[in-house]
Structure 1
Amino acid sequence: MAVANRTAISRALDFSRLSSSFVRTFSSSSPSTSSSNPNASPTSSQTKRRKKKKNLFEVVQFLPNWGVGYHVAKSHWDEISYQITKINLYKSGTHGKAWGIAHKNGTPIVEAPKKISGVHKRCWKYIASLPHSGESKTSAEVQTS
């Protein structure tokens, strides 16, 4: 008897979840009628959306060893880039500190790495055209705190 009640309750919960998600899709997909411009089509508002740019950690998270040895630059920089030498990540994985060697037109400006400023700003890009250094994984410095 208890097993039958339990299965009936679980079926009712599954149905309520299904129906609530079904209603949610219809309510979110309908265009709003209270727009400021009545002549604007709903597709024009969708094309105005810009792709959210990435901060440094979101750019390098899929590179091997969190991008240590790879070149990154801010999107508005033409000739300047940084070769990442060390990354200190916070627990979230999207915040932290980074150090690197500054490069101009592919040649190092200085030999000593310096702290990269503006790593949390959403304007970073990966520079694929510059070769990354083939550092071994034992010498790479990735820290999490």
Structure 2
Amino acid sequence: MQKAFFEVNRAAENPKNETSKPKRRKKKNLFEVAQFLPNWGIGYHMAKSHWANVSYEITKINLYKDGRHGKAWGIAHKDGLPIADAPKKISGVHKRCWKYIPSLAISIEGKESSPKPTETAAKTEVQAA
């Protein structure tokens, strides 16, 4: 009878909640995503996780002192192409649903690093002379 009593006490001391769900990772707002990118994400594309084929290219960030709040401006893009010419203030920057879009940033960086056709033509003319 004593053995049964000790087993009950051990079970009460170490409850195993196998039915409890695993902890969910907290999603990030725009500033928490941008803080790990170079220059606070300026020039990079970010989107809300529920948007399809829509993103913002960040052009300006105005941070508050804590580094997790502020204001942001950017150029809206749809399917990788800019919708408007001028940047506009991004709404919902404090909502916890933002993600970084690496594929658009890589394609843009690749375009910027390749020389322009006029530059290559000028270089070949100089080399030929």
Q: TM-score, normalised by structure 2?
A: 0.69
Is residue 58 of structure 1 aligned with residue 38 of structure 2? no
Q: How many angstroms apart in 2 are the aligned matches of 1:105 and 1:63? A: 22
Unmatched 5+ stretches in structure 2: 1-12, 113-129
Compute the RMSD of aligned alpha carbons. Answer: 1.9
Task: Decide which structure has the larger Cα Rg and report it.
Answer: 2
- Which residue number corresponds to residue 100 of structure 2? 126
1:113 pairs with 74, 84, 87, which one?
A: 87
Q: How many angstroms apart in 2 are the aligned matches of 1:44 and 1:61? A: 36
Flag the structure with higher helix content.
Answer: 2
- Which residue number corresponds to residue 70 of structure 2? 96
Q: CA deviation at 1:46?
A: 4.5
Unmatched 5+ stretches in structure 1: 1-29, 33-40, 136-145
Q: Which amino acid aligns with 1:50?
A: R
The total of aligned residue pairs comes to 97
Q: How many angstroms apart in 2 are the aligned matches of 1:131 and 1:121? A: 22
- CA deviations over 1:58-108 (Å, ceiling 9, x no partner): 001010000000000000001110000000000000000000000000000
Q: CA deviation at 1:45?
A: 1.6
Is residue 42 of structure 1 aligned with residue 17 of structure 2? yes
Q: How many angstroms apart in 2 are the aligned matches of 1:31 and 1:100? A: 52
Q: How many angstroms apart in 1 are the aligned matches of 2:83 and 2:57? A: 11
- Which residue number corresponds to residue 122 of structure 2? none
Q: Which amino acid aligns with 2:71?
A: K
- Which residue number corresponds to residue 80 of structure 1? 54
Are the structure 2 counterparts of residues 31 and 51 from structure 1 closer, same or farther at C-alpha, using a change threshold of 3 Å?
A: farther
SS at match of 2:103: coil
Q: CA deviation at 1:44?
A: 3.5
Query: Identity rate of aligned residues, in percent?
Result: 70
- Runs of 4 or more, structure 1, over 2 Å off, are 131-135
